[in-house]
Amino acid sequence: MNQFTASRQPMQAQRPNTAPGNAEARKLAEDLMDAMNALLGLIERETELVRAGNVREAMTLESRKQELSRNYVGAVSRLKASQAQLAKSAPELLSTLHRHHDAFRAMLQVNLTVLATAHAVSESVVRGVNAEIQKRNVPNTYTAAGRRATPGPRHITPLTVSRSL
C-alpha cells in the first residue's frame, strides 16, 4: 500500500451521515465524494507512472482525467449552489466535506509537484542537448583582442523538438 492509498482510506470510510430528511444534501455530498475519489484514484495512478518514468502511459490517462475533472467541477458547482441551505440544514455534512476536500487538495498538490519536477527535468535535458549542439556549430575563433568570439545568429542551428511522445 503506497502513501496515496493509505491516506485515501479515511476519505472512503467516513462518508457523511445525515438524517433521512436531508436526502438531497446527502446525494450532493455523495456525488462530490464519488467525484473526488474517482479523480484521486486516477491522479494517484498518474503520479505513480510519472515517478516511474512511464510518461507515455501516464499520457494515456489524459482523456479520462478530463472527464473526471468535469464531473468533479459539476459536483462542486451543484454543492456551491446549495451551500447556504446545507449550512443551515446539515452543517456537520458541510464540515465533513470541507475536511475531505482539504485532503483531496493535498493529494492534488503532490501530483502537481511530481508533474512540475518531471517537466523541469525534461526541460533541463533538452536545454543541455541544445547547448551541446550549439557548441559543435560555433566556430572556434578569437577576436583581435585575444578574446573568444561570440557566435552570431547565422551560426546558431535551431533545435526541433517533437512534443508528442
Asked if 25 and 82 touch (Cβ cutoff 8 Å), the reply is yes
Q: Which pLDDT belongs to residue 37?
A: 92
Q: Which pLDDT belongs to residue 22?
A: 64
Asked if 76 and 32 touch (Cβ cutoff 8 Å), the reply is yes
Question: What CA–CA distance (Å, rounded) separates 1 from 30?
Answer: 25
**The 3-state secondary structure of 36-78, one letter per residue:** HHHHHHHHHHHHHHHHCCCHHHHHCCHHHHHHHHHHHHHHHHH
Q: How does DSSP classify residue 160? A: P
Q: Which pLDDT belongs to residue 18?
A: 42
- Residue located via cell numbers 517533437: 162
Cα–Cα–Cα angle for 151, 154, 159, nearest 5°? Answer: 90
pLDDT per residue as tens digits for the range 81-128: 888 777 787 788 888 888 989 989 999 999 999 999 999 998 898 888
User: At 3, is the secondary structure helix, strand, or coil?
Assistant: helix
To the question of pTM greater than 0.85 for the whole model, the response is: no
- Side-chain-side CA neighbours of 140 within 13 Å: the count stands at 2
Q: How does DSSP classify residue 163? A: S
User: At 58, is the secondary structure helix, strand, or coil?
Assistant: helix
pLDDT, mean over the chain: 80
Q: Which pLDDT belongs to residue 80?
A: 86
Mark the ranges of the chain whose per-residue pLDDT is less than 70. 1-22, 155, 163-165
